Amino acid sequence: MATAPVSAAEIDRAKLTAVGLPVLAIVALPLAGLALISWRIAILAALFAAAGAASTALLNFWHPMPGNRRGMLRRHSQSKLIALVEHAIAISWAMAIVLTVAQSLVALLPMAIVAAILAVVRRRHRREAVPASAPAPLASAPART
């Protein structure tokens, strides 16, 4: 991907589309059925499903699994910690939608947990992305003429 003749943003957009379309296909039929019963709950479910997918996508964008051609078979084996965080985010969104449908203000708690998890992960990602400052250059020798 590093040598592809496209920008990194285009690659990320394509990856997000590749992940989002199957999720949309899987969720569309149950949402349509739910809309027949309650359009309000169907809209909430769609919003929370989108938020959950976006949270997971952000987590995986910030902590990609590096790989080369030799590591193709191991490509989908991610860090155990990242997998645990991903599950915590999914469970938090599930709790949030249930509590929101029940019209409980406690629904804000799992949403705050997701926001806190993503903030910590993002802060850690930014710290890793910023290279350490280069040492000050030594005094250079006088130029030869």
145 residues of the chain, pLDDT tens digit each: 567 788 878 888 888 888 888 888 999 999 999 999 999 999 999 999 999 988 988 888 888 766 666 655 555 566 788 889 999 999 999 999 999 999 999 999 999 999 999 999 988 877 776 555 545 444 445 555 5
| Full-model pTM | 0.73
Alpha-carbon span 34 to 28, nearest angstrom? 10
What's at 49, amino acid-wise? Answer: A
Alpha-carbon distances of 9 from 4, 6, 12, 15, 17, rounded to whole Å: 12, 8, 5, 10, 12
Within 8 A by CB and 6+ apart from 57, the residues are 16, 19, 20
Alpha-carbon span 25 to 109, nearest angstrom? 29
- Cα–chain center distance at 78: 13
Q: What residues does each domain of the chain span?
A: 8-64+79-129
